């Protein structure tokens, strides 16, 4: 096992968590097995009692998955990490491990639609109440607390409006109320933002996005303190079964080796495209966290950094003046950038949230969230930025 606690980020990305078998392979091995065998019935019993070390069953843990869990935990500065089959399985697992019937969750209003559905529609079926708040104003979190509040949940930057919330301030409010703060850190990636260093208790990722980063697999991760993971989270994951395939864990392990190169390049491309888009007359406004016209740009510059420099992330969003028809015309005119609802890929992807990722919501709710008919989200990839700029400019020109 590589001792990774004192290593720098780029070294952790390549070497963190690596555990070689007796063959001393260079690249991490895939242990494509659902179960494990024991030398004796006594050994099986001892392992199940937790008195002997070793794996038990693929739904609980697997050596390839352990390597990825340890890489992610080291990167995040978390005690432990658990993998799930998708980002949504991670959000669901983290929430279920924090609340029970009769408890209350406070969450940001601007969320990826499936996250909001879990909180607004699914958990209330099991007696969990919620309050949604405008997340950027920290005082709203304090005002929403009830005696039974057990968890705060937020995305920052939020999908797709790129609203930024103050993790440190909201963590303090959560802790004063005896609640846990869960951060969905998908947009910022573990490279740009360290929620745990700012006081968050639990961090979740869709590994589908930047960690794989090449559009191949779905995956999720939950990171937290040892006691919470072992006592609250593990029983739920073990017995409900959202386990990640070892093949997927291996793909993500390989993806993460190049993650900082990809993310840095995509962020630089995104910042350049944001400026080009903002200057076009067909555009009402651009949202990019570190641009001076972003309402929380000072907070973003403090909270999102890479090599101590403010870094706004790989996602740019903007509102076109002509509403839905202009947005569709723009998307259809793109020649390099693909129309897709995924993000965090090496390939640049364009999304119309109102009709895809956020179509679960009524038009009125979409507008409250900032998802207007003319709103477009660009997940910027690592192609040559001149080609991307030409593609975007050409598509904007079609709007007259
Ligand atoms: C902010 C955010 N959280 C969670 C998810 C869910 O991830 P997955 O698609 O891997 O389930 C997404 C997916 O787009 C997302 O954007």
What domains lie within the chain, and their CATH numbers?
68-245 (3.40.640.10), 259-397 (3.90.1150.10)
Is 208 touching ligand 1 by the criterion CB < 6 Å? yes
- Tokens found for residue 370: 């900032």
Q: 154 pairs with which residues across the strands? A: 183
Tell how far CA 366 is from the center of its chain: 21
Residue with tokens 């073990």: 238
Best mutation site among 209, 356, 360 for ligand 1, i.e. most ligand atoms within 8 A of its Cβ? Answer: 209
Tell me if residue 233 falls in helix, strand or coil.
helix
Closest CA to 164 of 144, 143, 138: 138
CA–centroid distance, residue 1 to ligand 1 (Å): 31
CA–centroid distance, residue 334 to ligand 1 (Å): 24
Nearest ligand 1 atom, CA 155:
1
- Is there a contact between 293 and 318 (Cβ–Cβ < 8 Å)? no
The percent helix, strand, coil of the chain (3-state, each to 5) is: 40, 15, 45
pLDDT tens, residue order, the chain (400 aa): 444 568 999 999 999 999 999 999 999 999 999 999 999 999 999 999 999 999 999 999 999 999 999 999 999 999 999 999 999 999 999 999 999 999 999 999 999 999 999 999 999 999 999 999 999 999 999 999 999 999 999 999 999 999 999 999 999 999 999 999 999 999 999 999 999 999 999 999 999 999 999 999 999 999 999 999 999 999 999 999 999 999 999 999 999 999 999 999 999 999 999 999 999 999 999 999 999 999 999 999 999 999 999 999 999 999 999 999 999 999 999 999 999 999 999 999 999 999 999 999 999 999 988 999 999 999 999 999 999 999 999 999 999 8
Residue nearest to atom 5 of ligand 1 (CA): 87
Nearest ligand 1 atom, CA 186:
1
Q: How far apart are CA 182 and CA 54, in angstroms?
A: 31
- Tokens found for residue 292: 């001076």
CA–centroid distance, residue 182 to ligand 1 (Å): 14
Is 218 touching ligand 1 by the criterion CB < 6 Å? yes
Is 92 touching ligand 1 by the criterion CB < 6 Å? no
Residue nearest to atom 14 of ligand 1 (CA): 342
Is 88 touching ligand 1 by the criterion CB < 6 Å? yes
Characterize 102-121 residue by residue with b for buried, 16 or more Cβ atoms within 10 angstroms of its Cβ, and e for exposed.
ebbbbbbbbbbbebbebbbe
């Amino acid at each position: 096992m590589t001792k990774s606690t004192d290593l720098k980020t780029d070294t952790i990305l390549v070497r963190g968590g690596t555990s070689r078998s007796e063959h001393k392979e260079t690249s991490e091995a895939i242990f494509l097995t659902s179960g494990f065998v024991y030398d004796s019935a006594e050994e099986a019993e001892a392992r199940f009692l937790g008195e002997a070390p070793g794996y038990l069953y693929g739904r609980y843990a697997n050596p390839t998955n352990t390597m990825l869990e340890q890489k992610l935990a080291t990167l995040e500065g978390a005690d432990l990490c658990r993998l799930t089959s998708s980002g949504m399985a991670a959000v669901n697992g983290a929430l279920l491990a924090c609340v029970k019937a009769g408890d209350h969750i406070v969450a940001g209003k601007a969320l990826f639609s499936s996250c909001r559905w879990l909180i607004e529609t699914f958990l209330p079926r099991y007696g969990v109440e919620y309050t949604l708040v405008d997340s950027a104003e920290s005082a709203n979190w304090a005002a929403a607390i009830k005696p039974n509040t057990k968890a705060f949940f937020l995305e920052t930057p939020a999908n797709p409006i790129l609203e930024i919330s103050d993790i440190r301030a909201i963590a303090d409010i959560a802790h004063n109320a005896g609640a846990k703060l869960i951060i969905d850190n998908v947009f910022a990636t573990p490279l740009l933002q360290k929620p745990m260093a700012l006081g968050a208790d639990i961090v979740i990722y869709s590994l589908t996005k930047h960690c794989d980063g090449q559009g191949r697999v779905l995956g999720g991760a939950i990171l937290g303190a040892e006691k919470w993971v072992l006592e609250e989270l593990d029983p739920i994951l073990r017995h409900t079964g959202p386990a990640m395939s070892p093949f997927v864990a291996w793909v993500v392990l390989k993806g993460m080796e190049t993650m900082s190169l990809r993310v840095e390049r995509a962020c630089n491309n995104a910042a350049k495209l944001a400026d080009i888009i903002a200057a076009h007359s067909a555009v009402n406004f651009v949202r990019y966290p570190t641009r001076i016209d972003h309402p929380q740009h000072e907070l973003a510059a403090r909270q999102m950094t890479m090599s101590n420099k403010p870094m706004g992330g790989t996602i740019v969003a903007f509102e076109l003046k002509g509403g839905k028809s202009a947005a569709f015309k723009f998307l259809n005119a793109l020649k390099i950038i693909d129309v897709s609802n995924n993000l965090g890929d090496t390939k640049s992807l364009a999304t119309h949230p109102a009709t895809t990722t956020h179509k679960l919501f009524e038009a009125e709710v979409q507008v409250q969230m900032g998802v207007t008919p003319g709103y477009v989200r660009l997940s910027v990839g690592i192609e040559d930025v001149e080609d991307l700029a030409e593609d975007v400019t050409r598509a904007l020109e079609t709007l007259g």
